[in-house]
Structure 1
Amino acid sequence: MGTGLDPSLLDGQTIAALIAGLAATGVISGILAGLLGVGGGIVIVPVLFWGLTLFGFSPAVISHLAVGTSLAVIIPTSISSMRAHNKRGNVDRSLLKLWGPTIFIGALIGGIMSKYIPGSGLRFVFGVVGILVAINMAIPKTLVISDHLPRSGWINRAIATVIGFISSLMGIGGGTLSVPTLSSFSFPVHRAVGTSSALGLLIALPGVAGFIWAGLEIAGRPPLSLGYVSLPAVAIIAPVSFLFAPLGARLAHALNPRYLKLAFAFFLAITAARMLLS
């Protein structure tokens, strides 16, 4: 089975640069996971996409590999971020019980559906949803739908399912959608970020299982890939991201909520636009 890899790019200096780049990605994604509750996927997906493109892998698998690998990295990162936020009392357990089951189901459906969605479709989802969310978070006053979450159980389940489904297809931890959604229902932003770090784990676990299944028989993947998950990339990014997530959580509690939202919007808009233009 061919990998689509250009052997001329595998000299020692290039490999060292690649490892350093992946480690740097882990630092940034870990900080952003703790800071914004996003699991770092807004950094990991574009970096892996452009890195795999540079190394000449098949365009048919690049987007799926970027998303699947990002979801795998999000698992330990979300655990680290969740623990840091939980120590500060910013993980809402009642919301986890309410949203958890259906956000898990939505993410599993997204992972399974990835087998039937082309790479351009994944990039389109990432780009369009990312830009819309960034605009909502950047405006001076975030759109407020209500002063409280809906009391209806089925409405909450529908919201959580959609968040899980789209987040899985984007390779993100859920904060990209859950933070602005909760903010629009007047949920405190620091508590929204902390709870989203826990929701990220419930998205990443079923999502990565779906991407592994979807890519098992696909040709053109890099060596040492498990389905649509690059194990070497996970091995480099995940430990670094895990270590730096608590730093992001500390920064989140030191920042003004307005600055927190602007930081979220800034990083998301840049990465979303570049994915659309790819």
Structure 2
Amino acid sequence: MLIIFVMLIMGLMLGFVGAGGAGVVIAVLSVMFGIPLHTALGTSLGAMVFTTVSGTYSHYREDNVVVKCGVVVGIFGAAGALLGAKLAGLLPAGDLKWLTGGMLFLSAFLLAIRVYFPEWIESFAQGFTAPTGARYWGAASAVGIVSGIMSGTFGIGGMPFILIGLLTVFNMPVHQAAGTTMLISLPIALFGGLGYLINGHLDFSLLAKVIAGLMTGTYIGAKFTRRLSPVILKTTMVTIPVIGGLLLLFGTVR
């Protein structure tokens, strides 16, 4: 019950900022509850499947999803996530915690640029033209595989990295990039979680508790997104992965 309660509190924050929060879930499970790091990674990705479904559907209804790009990049991302899960199984927990913590800090940095300096990303993206033909498939495979490997190996959703790829490589408008990122994250989380299941690092009892807490919390937290100050929203969005990174780097994991 304690795990469900803590996940509920986390869900309130993640629902408020509209983020998947996979990295923070990993940190809390491994440091606060002593869950083996590899199991925390698999559980986090498995839970992300459920937390991204509603977001993808909502964006689709708002016409914010480029379906073809999302499906193609997502397929390559799923393959990368399976490979990433295999790579994670070869890494000792001590090394993996430093790598995952570092990725969380990098994720926070990219989110900070996105929320505080969006014009930088838009200006940078203007220098790219959307690929066509063979270049399209090459770009889709590159963005998908790289994002999938990162997500599968480190257990984080990788949404900031996918978003940057869509904005630059595919020159998408920001609103479409955000919605398509959610669609791409779905198969990545699904097959990444499957990879951890194959490797014996997915605990279904733990997964059910995490999902129950997170989904309840995110549903309630989303109601506060438009009710609180944008300053609080932006600060919380950047702070969450930083907290996760600090927990991993300075906490004890198994």
Coarse TM-score class (shorter-chain normalised): 0.7 to 0.9
Correspondence for 1:20:
5
The correspondence of residues 127-142 of structure 1 with structure 2, limited to 5 A, is 127-139=101-113, 140-141=116-117
RMSD: 3.1
CA contact (8 A) 1:130 1:272 kept: yes
Q: Quick one: which amino acid aligns to residue 162 of structure 2? A: S
Displacement, 1:40? 2.6
Name the counterpart of 2:40: 66
Work out the CA distance in 2 between the residues paired with 1:99 and 1:203: 10
TM-score for the superposition, normalised by structure 1: 0.73
Measured after TM superposition, the shift of residue 260 of structure 1 is 6.4
> Paired residue for 1:219?
none
Structure 1 gap ranges (5+): 1-15, 215-226
Q: 5+ residue gaps in structure 2?
A: none
1:91 aligns with 2:72: no
Contact between 2:143 and 2:162, CA under 8 Å: does it hold in 1? no
Equivalent position of 2:75 in the other structure: 101
Tell me which residue corresponds to 2:250: 277
Q: Give the superposition deviation at 1:193.
A: 2.7
Question: For residues 92 and 237 of structure 1, do their structure 2 counterparts lie closer, same or farther at Cα, with a shift above 3 Å needed?
Answer: same
Instruction: Provide closer, same or farther for how the CA distance between residues 242 and 19 of structure 1 changes in structure 2, counting only shifts above 3 A.
Output: closer
Q: Which has the higher contact order (CA 8 A, sep 6+)?
A: 2
Residue 3 of structure 1 corresponds to which residue in structure 2?
A: none
1:19-168 alignment runs, 5 A limit: 19-32=4-17, 35-36=18-19, 39-53=20-34, 62-139=36-113, 140-141=116-117, 143-144=120-121, 145-147=124-126, 148=128, 150-151=130-131, 152-153=135-136, 154-168=138-152
**Cα distance change, pair 20–261 in 1 and its aligned pair in 2 (3 A):** closer
In the superposition, relative to structure 1, how do residues 80 and 99 fare at CA in structure 2: closer, same or farther (>3 Å)?
same
Q: How many residues align?
A: 240
For residue 159 of structure 2, what is the amino acid of its counterpart? Answer: G
In the TM superposition, 1:145-224 aligns within 5 A as 145-147=124-126, 148=128, 150-151=130-131, 152-153=135-136, 154-184=138-168, 187-214=172-199
Tell me how far 1:92 sits from its aligned partner. 2.0
Length-normalised TM-score, structure 2: 0.79
Shifted more, 253-262 versus 230-239: the winner is 253-262
In structure 2, do the counterparts of structure 1 residues 181 and 258 end up closer, same or farther at CA, with 3 Å as the change threshold?
A: farther
| Matched AA of 1:42 | G
- Kindly indicate whether residue 206 of structure 2 is the aligned counterpart of residue 233 of structure 1: yes
CA distance in 1 between counterparts of 2:51 and 2:2 reads 23
Deviations 1:12-43 (A, max 9, x none): xxxx43442233334444555xx13xx33032
Distance (whole Å) between structure 1 residues aligned to residue 106 and residue 33 of structure 2: 26
